[in-house]
Amino acid sequence: MGFAAFAGILIFAIVVGIAVQLLEKKSSYDWLLIAVTGTFGAYFASETFPGSTVFQAIKDFGPQVDGFYVIPGIIGGVALALVAYLGTRNLTSTTKTA
């Protein structure tokens, strides 16, 4: 995977993380957790899924941009970012106790 594809993944993950942060103002670092897990998920899925022997019967992995397999990358990034979001949304509370 080239630098341009990785930079695109990173920028998109940061934008999504900031959007979630603006919608859910739970803690000040939610955007970072979502961006890191989304980036890792997209990179990991794009690099490992196409070369996997488990999915050997599937020959077409969709478009490829600068070494980044788009379909597995998007699915992997969204899946891990969603897990991070669901895992962290109840960790902190915005209500104040008297």
pLDDT of residue 97: 59
Which amino acid does the sequence have at 10?
L
pLDDT of residue 81: 87
Alpha helices in the chain (DSSP H): 3-23, 30-48, 70-88
pLDDT of residue 58: 58
pLDDT of residue 60: 57
pLDDT of residue 56: 60
pLDDT of residue 96: 62
The pLDDT tens digits along the chain (98 residues) read 788 888 888 898 888 888 888 887 667 778 888 889 999 988 888 888 766 666 665 555 678 888 788 888 888 889 998 888 888 776 666 666 55
pLDDT of residue 18: 85
Answer positive or negative: Cα dihedral of 94, 90, 20, 39. Answer: positive
